[in-house]
Amino acid sequence: KELNKQRESYLHRKVRLYNGYRHNLASNDYFQLRFHPKVIAGAQTACEKYGSGSGASPLLSGFLSCHNDLLTEILNWKQKPFGMLFNSGFVANQAILKHLPGKNDFILADRLIHHSVAQALMQCPAKFKRYDHLDLDSLEFLLEKIYGNYDTIFVVTESVFSMDGDYPDLKALVALKKRFQFVLVLDEAHGTGVFGQNGGGLADEMGVLPEIDILVGTLGKSLASMGAYVLANNSSII
Is residue 103 among the annotated active site residues?
no
CA 92 to chain centre: 7
Catalytic entry in 87, 104, 149, 162: 162
Catalytic entry in 105, 188, 190, 204: 190
Is residue 104 among the annotated active site residues?
no
Is residue 140 among the annotated active site residues?
no
Catalytic entry in 110, 187, 204, 211: 187
Is residue 162 among the annotated active site residues?
yes
Is residue 69 among the annotated active site residues?
no
Catalytic entry in 78, 114, 188, 205: 114
CA distances from 194 to 159, 163, 201 (A): 11, 15, 7
Burial of residue 184 (CB within 10 Å: 0-12, 13-18, 19+) is: buried
For the chain, first and last CA: distance in Å?
A: 44
d(CA 125, CA 238): 19
Catalytic entry in 12, 28, 49, 99: 28
Catalytic entry in 158, 205, 211, 213: 158
Is residue 187 among the annotated active site residues?
yes
Query: By the 8 A CB rule, do 157 and 187 touch?
Result: yes
Is residue 52 among the annotated active site residues?
no
Catalytic entry in 80, 221, 222, 233: 221
Question: What residues are annotated to the active site?
Answer: 28, 114, 158, 162, 187, 190, 221
